[in-house]
């Protein structure tokens, strides 16, 4: 593992990369990092994108792993949390605990439409099948994330999917283009065993609901307990899908590919 920390640098202007430049950066990253450690991947992203780099968290079951990993290298990095307004009470308390522990530079974004207004005008979207869930995710997650990217001048995004979690995530690369920014996955190749070992090594807490059988934790209305035999995310979205939309590009061609995969 890398133990070095990056030195201070003068801030650079935050400018979204052109399509050609983004392609070149992604290709370089893929060549350099295909078998690199998670620490080396984070360090490369910090060196490459400077103050255009952010990370996101859901304050989910194992979120302490990414928060520890990244803040140990880039303690001032903006951390985006998309708060849907429908999290478990335990999630809000866990978020407060981790924010204090890691002294997070937390940036909370929410949908422009309040939870009460959305339910009054659209009903319980999470009870309206796959289309309702997709609309819910667009309103409460995807739109706030796009707004966060615009307001924070994001050029690259550190996030924590792992290949073993879903069929879609097995198709991801460590570095890839995503809706005009560079998406970087430091723990993409980690197994559940590696995650648990890292948490034990660094005395990191699990989300409190893990002890009650929740292996993947999202909103209270679309998260259930699971035995994990079919995968950590089996308890999400009433079994209708496994991805909330934040990690899936929104172009028509990419969505058609996703639909054909059954995700």
Q: Catalytic residues, which ones?
A: 244
Phi then psi for residue 188, to 5 deg, are -55, -40
Q: Does residue 126 contact residue 25 with C-beta atoms inside 8 Å?
A: no
Phi then psi for residue 109, to 5 deg, are -125, 140
Please state, as a whole number, how many other Cβ atoms lie within 10 Å of the Cβ of residue 123: 11
- SS3 category, 154: coil
What is the distance between the alpha carbons of residues 62 and 45, in angstroms, rounded to a whole number? 22
The DSSP annotation for 92-110 comes to HHHHHHHHHHHT-EEEEE-
What is the distance between the alpha carbons of residues 133 and 237, in angstroms, rounded to a whole number? 7
137: nearest Cα among 7, 245, 22: 245
Show the tokens assigned to 90: 């335990």
Q: Does residue 241 contact residue 235 with C-beta atoms inside 8 Å?
A: no
Q: How deeply is 60 buried, as exposed, middle or buried, from its count of CB atoms within 10 A (0-12, 13-18, 19+)?
A: buried
**Taking the chain, what is the end-to-end CA distance rounded to the nearest angstrom?**
34
Please state, as a whole number, how many other Cβ atoms lie within 10 Å of the Cβ of residue 49: 22
């Amino acid at each position: 593992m890398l133990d070095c920390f990056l030195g201070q640098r003068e801030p650079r202007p935050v400018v979204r990369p052109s399509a050609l430049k983004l392609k070149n950066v992604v290709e370089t990253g893929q060549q350099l990092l295909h078998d690199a450690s998670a620490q080396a991947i984070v360090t490369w992203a910090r060196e490459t994108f400077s103050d255009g780099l952010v990370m996101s968290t859901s304050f989910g079951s194992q979120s302490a792993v990414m928060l520890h990993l990244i803040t140990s290298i880039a303690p001032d990095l903006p951390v985006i949390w998309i708060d849907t307004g429908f999290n478990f009470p335990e999630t809000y308390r866990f978020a407060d605990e981790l924010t204090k522990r890691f002294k997070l530079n937390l940036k909370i974004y929410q949908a422009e439409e309040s939870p009460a207004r959305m339910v009054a005008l659209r009903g319980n979207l999470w009870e309206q099948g796959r289309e309702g869930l997709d609309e819910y995710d667009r309103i409460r997650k995807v739109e706030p994330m796009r707004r966060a990217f615009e307001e924070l001048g994001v050029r690259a995004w550190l996030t924590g999917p792992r290949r073993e979690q879903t069929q879609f995530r097995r198709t991801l690369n460590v570095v890839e283009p995503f809706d005009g920014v560079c998406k970087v996955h430091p723990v993409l190749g980690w197994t559940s065993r590696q995650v648990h070992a890292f948490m034990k090594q660094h005395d990191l807490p699990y989300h409190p609901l893990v002890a009650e059988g929740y292996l993947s934790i999202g909103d209270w209305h679309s998260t259930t307990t699971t035995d994990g035999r079919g995968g950590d995310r089996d308890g999400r979205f009433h079994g209708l899908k496994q991805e909330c939309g934040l990690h899936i590009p929104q172009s028509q061609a990419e969505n058609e590919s996703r639909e054909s995969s059954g995700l």
